[in-house]
Amino acid sequence: MNQSKDTTIALNVRLKPSDSSAHPRAVNYTNVGVAQGIAYLDFGFIEPSLLAAVAKTAKDGQAAPKGLDGHLVTRVALPVDNLAQLYQQIQQVLVGLRTARKQKS
């Protein structure tokens, strides 16, 4: 009886932009949630002046606001196993950046 084995194959993938993805969007806020085996990655933007005002309020010892309003830039939904792959890719990028930074020093 043949047993199937999971194997990873490296492929060069080129994604062509569509109209809505042709230009990068600025984000300064991310959130990840999981429901029913699907990970939801929210990418948002909060006005930097608002973030600075909250930081100053906290520094001055005043009560911080209970919440902030920002703009949802995009939401990505993906299976949890793809989230694990994304985590591995991010780790590889961060290790590469750390190595490059050490070599510059």
Average pLDDT, the chain: 90
pLDDT at 19: 82
pTM of the model: 0.75
Number of domains, the chain: 1
Q: Are 44 and 30 in contact (CB under 8 A)?
A: yes
36: containing domain? 25-104
* pLDDT tens column, 35-83: 999 999 999 999 999 999 998 998 999 988 888 999 999 999 999 999 9
Please compute the mean of the pLDDT values over residues 75-101 and round it to a whole number.
Answer: 95
Residue 36, domain member (yes or no): yes
pLDDT at 16: 87
Residue 6, domain member (yes or no): no
Question: 56-65 burial string, b = 16+ CB within 10 Å, else e?
Answer: eeeeeeeeee
